[in-house]
Amino acid sequence: MAAGGKGANQAVAAARLGGAVTFICKVGNDIFGNQAKALFEQEGIHTAHLLTDATLPSGIALIMVDKHAENVIAVASGANAALAPDDLQNIDALMDSATIILMQLEIPLETVQYVAAKAFSRGIPVMLNPAPACTLSNELLQCISIITPNETEAEILTGIKVTDIASAQQAANVLYEKGIHTVIITMGSNGSLVLHDSAFTHVPTIAVKAVDTTAAGDVFTGALAVALSQGKEVVDAAAFACKAASISVTRLGAQASAPYRHEVEGIL
């Protein structure tokens, strides 16, 4: 067993890389929920807004990794699926103090929409990792400042099959034209494609021997959020995130694979 969950992985990655992280989530009143809270606190993550569901279990996943280090994941959402807008009525002050708000799609879409609209009205940047992939409304996308799909997610969002840099550019343009100012498509060992201020940049990654790609996208996203919150330019932040993700795929597990700041800076 290992700690995981997309939001949790991103929170841990951001904390290990020097971010001041407050994590809002919902867990069950069970051993997994109690362990999760204890682990977050060990990582220095603020858990005052962590919620516990009295009846639903904590979310769990079964991860299968093939001989090419790629993974297939079956998820039982549990309490994650019960994080509702009504649970977030007291986060206005917390939101106003945030440099960036990071979300993914392992919580209800209506909750993502609620938070995104609230942040957008306050001028607070929202980063969305659109995973697990699904179709998103233009209403939601217009509230997003930064989006970080992988090739499969980009195809679901745009209808364009991403197989190389050229097709990634086409997909990124579709999202950019929907009002998202920064589109970053992650492409595994091919690094990432950044579209920012109407300019494309291909950010390569470093060559490593992959053992397990689980949570690599989460590490990338958490690292990107930290780098942007600390004032790095978008392309530099993407390069930092690529390095962090490269380290993570050399290790087994989800949260356990997230590197620390000194490890990434050692590569840089």
Query: 218 an active-site residue?
Result: yes
Strands (E), 97-186: 101-104, 126-129, 146-147, 182-186
Strands 71-76 and 60-65: antiparallel
Locate 3 and state its tokens: 């700690």
CA dihedral 15, 213, 140, 227 (to 10 degrees): 40
3-state secondary structure of 14: helix
Considering 30, 96, 218, 236, which one is annotated as catalytic? Answer: 218
Beta bridge partners of 193: 185, 202
User: 10-22 burial, b if ≥16 CB within 10 A, otherwise e?
Assistant: bbbbbbbbbbebb
At residue 95's C-alpha, the angle toward residues 50 and 235, to 5°, is: 105
Q: Which of the residues are catalytic?
A: 218
